[in-house]
Structures are given as C-alpha cells and as structure tokens.
Structure 1
Amino acid sequence: MDSQPNLRLFTGWVLIAQVLGLTSVILVAVWMGSYRGGFAWQEDPGREFNYHPLFMIIGLVFLYGDAILVYRVFRNERKMYVKILHGVVQAFALLFAAVGLKAVFDSHNLAEKPIPNMYSLHSWLGLTTVILFGLQWVFGFVSFLWPKVALSMRTIYKPIHVYFGLAIFVMAIATSLMGITEKAFFSVGSPSYKGVPYSALPAEGVIINILGMVLVALGLVVGYIITNPDYERQPTPEEEHIPLDQ
C-alpha cells in the first residue's frame, strides 16, 4: 500500500506531466497558428504542413506519454480495464501520428515546386519511430489482450514491451526536437525570411525554444514516474491468482 506522502508526491508528478504535455500542445498550436499562417488541408499544402508538428506532438508525445502513465495512475483499477484504456489511448496516438505523416507528405508532394521526401535525419528517425510505435501497439494488443496467447509468452514479452515503450517515447521526443530545430532554421533562420532572424531571438524563436525545453522536461518527468519503483503498480491479491487476460 502506498504511503500518503509517496502518493501525494506521485500525484504531483503526474499533474506536472499533464501541465507540460498540454503546454507543449498549446505552444506548437500557437507557433503554427499565429506565426506560420494557420492550418489548411490539401488546397494549401504549405499550411497543411502545420498539422504535422501539431498532430505529432499531440499523438506521439502527449497521448503516448499519458498511455504510458495509465498503469501508474489507475493502480487500483481492474487490470483488464487499464489494459484496454492503455491500448485505446495509444490507438488515438497512432491515428494522430498517421494524419501528421500524411500532412507532411502532402505538403511536399502537392507543393507548386515539389519538395523531396525522406532525405533528412529527422525524417528517417521520425518514420522509424512511427513504425516502431505501430509494431509496439500490434504486439502489445496480441500479447496482452488476445486470450489465446500463452501466459509464458506474455511473461517473456512483458519486459521487452515495457522497455520499448519508454524507448520509443524517448525517440519521439528526440525526433520532435530535431523537427522543431529543422523548422526553425528553414523558416525563421532562412536568409529569405523577411522578419527578425532566429539569431536575434524574435518572439517566434522564444516560443520554439520554450517548446523544446518543455518537451525535454516532459520526457524527464514521465521517465522518472515510470522508472521509480515506489510508483510501480502492485498486483492485487486477486490478480496474483488469475490469468493476465482476466
């Protein structure tokens, strides 16, 4: 049973994670909406791109981070319900990521002068992260929600699933940092940019830098919550005597 001080600290860390996650979404929305021209679909490929950073941060950072935390937050709920919630939140994260990928490919392919795809390290690491996340979701669904999978196989796969869950989250944040830096130099740092250059730290540059700092802080907080053994979900007496699919 958790002690009250530990539980209060845990609740505080979770609240901090939520504030940081929401702040990252707000910052990227303000950046794309107020400084990069707003949002559109295929009729304006340049503005369609703006959905890419927004949806990627919503999906692979904010929602994915929350999906990781559900086993800690809902520690006293029936495990099957928590598994379903974990899978559903991750499914929404994957959906946002898929639309975010479509937005960036459309913005390149439908531009008046088409832009090459998949040439930067950001694009390579980003696509790798999305593919790994999709595989993680599929293997997790089959291993922990498919009733015909043997208990021994679940036991073997669980530490692998836990490790890659956190590793992919770290990859998502790293890719986001690379992406916002790339966008900053391509846009605010471009010689053709008419406004205050990035090197002079305009308001847009401040938002970009704060966004990066918030993403790093979110990764550190989620990582701390997940790796702290005091916050680990302990199985109830009933769970110790029933299969994992119950």
Structure 2
Amino acid sequence: MPSLSNSLSCVDFCFKSPSVRFLLSLAIIVYRLPWTWKCSKLLMKSIHAGLNAVAAILAIIALVAVFDFHNAMNIPNMYSLHSWIGLAAVVLYILQLLLGFLVFLLPFAPLSLRAFLLPIHVYSGLLIFGTVIATALTGVTEKLFFALTSTGYSSFLPEGIFTNTLGLLILVFGALIFWIVTRPQWKRPKEPNSVLLQPNGGSAEGVVGALAVNSDNHGDKSDLELNSEVAARKRNFTLEDAGQRSTM
C-alpha cells in the first residue's frame, strides 16, 4: 500500500492542483473583474482563452502522471467515482476549449450561432468548474481512506484533520467563484454600438436601422423621443439625398 505522502503527491498532480484550479477560476471570472472593463473585448477573449489553454495543458500532463503513477504502483485505473468524475472533467474541458476557440475567438462563426451558443458556453464552464471541485473533494477523501486504513481515519489523526480542512477551503473557494459569476453588478458592461454610415450608395433604411440599434443604448430617453429622433434623422437624410441628386 503506498504511503500517505506518495498518495497525496499523486492527488496533487490532478485537477486538485492549486495552479490548475487557480487558472481555471481566473479564466472564469476574468470578465467580471471591474479593472478589466476598460480593456477591449478581443484582449479579454485572448486572455480568457490563454488561461484556459494553459490549464488544459497542465490537466493533460496531470492525467498522464496519474496513470503512470498507478501503473508503477500496480494500482488499477478508472475504477472509482473520483477517477470517472476526473476523466469526465478533462474531456469536457478540452471540448469546451475547442468549441470556444472555434466559435468565439475566431471571426468565422456567424453572430446568430454565437448568440445561441453563448448561454451554453457559460453554463458548461460553470458545470466543468463544479466538476473539478467535486473531483478534488472525492480524490482527497479516497486517498485518505487508502492511506489511513491501518492507523484509522476515524481516530482524528492530524493528516485527516488537515485534509478535511483543505477540502472545506476548496469548497469555500468554489462557492466564492460561483458567487462572483452570478452577481449582476459584477457583469461586464456592454460596449456601445457604433453607427455605421454609408455615404456612397447607402440607403435611408440602412441608416435608420443603424440608428435604431444605437438607440438601445439611450436608456434615459422614452420611446416617443427615440422614435421622433429617428424619424427626424430619416427626413434629414432624405432631404440631403434629394439635394445631392439634384446637383448631379
């Protein structure tokens, strides 16, 4: 039977590693940090993707290290609930990373597809983070049962008390991340939409459509005022267009 130090060192390689958990949690809340709201959305997307990519690489290395450790110690692989949850977390995390890179980072996906997948992407990220927390808690408990069988886990040994305290801190850490993500006041403000004018060949309907989109950002105006403003700009555009044509 492997010693407690060897067992806990193996556990630390996996998703319970503080560095992997920290990168994953930071990637989740990177949009929620108020001092990042002045940064461009593309920069924040790149940081979000980069943190997730580094965490995924560390997770794959950890998974390989765990299998190597089990094979070297003649320990069966993939028999426990901890191993099932951990492998599911790794697979889902890699799929989430690939989908996010292809849809949200590269400029090829249509806006309708992005709008449809965004809620799923956010939910999947929180689900994976919760799965990582569950993997950590089940993993440390499983290794304690194995390592303290002869001495007695129920005897309140210092190793057991320390690991139980660590598990509570991991749970509190996960709850804090969920609290930050679910607070509306921590949500990144939407960037104002710019009005795209088309002086050559542009139609009045296109300008009015752009003005209608931009009018959504003026929350302090009533609908009547907005409609009047749009109608007035449409008339001005029509008159200017007619004057330009008359001089041609």
Could you say which TM-score interval applies, normalised by the shorter chain? 0.7 to 0.9
Q: Distance in 1 between matches of 2:194 and 2:176?
A: 29
> What corresponds to 1:134 in structure 2?
94
* 1:53 alignment counterpart: 12
CA contact (8 A) 1:90 1:137 kept: yes
Distance 1:53 1:199 in 2: 23
Residue from 9, 13, 22 that aligns with 1:62: 22
What is residue 80 of structure 1 aligned with on the other side?
42
Is 1:125 equivalent to 2:110 in the alignment?
no
How do 1:15-30 residues align onto structure 2 when only pairs under 5 Å count? none
AA aligned opposite 1:171: T
Aligned residue in 2 for 1:209: 164
Look up the SS of the partner of 2:15 in the other structure.
helix
Equivalence for 2:188 = 233
Residue segments in structure 2 that go unaligned for 5+ positions in a row: 197-248
Q: TM-score, normalised by structure 1?
A: 0.72
Residue 115 of structure 1 deviates from its aligned partner by: 1.6
RCO comparison, higher one (Cα < 8 Å, 6+): 1
1:105 paired to 2:64: no
Unaligned runs of 5+ in 1: 1-34, 38-45, 242-246
Question: Partners in 1 of 2:9 and 2:115 — Cα distance?
Answer: 42
- Shift in CA distance, 115/239, structure 1 to aligned 2, threshold 3 Å: farther
Alignment check: 8 A CA contact 1:70 1:86 kept: yes
User: Which amino acid in the other structure matches residue 180 of structure 2?
Assistant: I
> Which residue does 1:198 correspond to in 2?
153
2:236 maps to none
Question: 1:64–1:169: 8 Å Cα contact kept in structure 2?
Answer: yes
Q: Measure how far apart 1:215 and its partner are.
A: 0.8
**Which SS does the other structure have where 1:53 is aligned?**
helix
State the structure with more CA Rg. 2
What's the RMSD between the two structures over aligned residues?
Answer: 2.0
SS at match of 2:191: coil
Question: What's the counterpart of residue 220 of structure 1?
Answer: 175
Question: Match for 1:175: what amino acid?
Answer: T
1:82-105 residue CA offsets vs partner (Å, 9 max, x unmatched): 011011111111111111111110
CA separation in 2, counterparts of 1:67 and 1:227?
15
- The 2-side partners of 1:79 and 1:187 are apart by 48
Does residue 107 of structure 2 align to residue 152 of structure 1? Answer: no
Q: Distance in 2 between the 1:127 and 1:167 partners? A: 14
Check conservation: 2:11, 2:140, Cα contact below 8 A. no
Question: How many equivalent pairs are there?
Answer: 191
After superposition, give the CA deviation of every residue in 1:169-197 in whole Å (9 maximum; x if it has no partner): 00110111001100110112x12x5xxx3
User: How high is the TM-score relative to the length of structure 2?
Assistant: 0.72
Deviation at 1:127, TM superposition (A): 0.2
Partner of 2:121: 161
CA drift of 1:75 comes to: 2.2
User: Which of the numbers 75, 99, 105 marks the counterpart of 1:115?
Assistant: 75
Amino acid across the alignment from 2:156: L
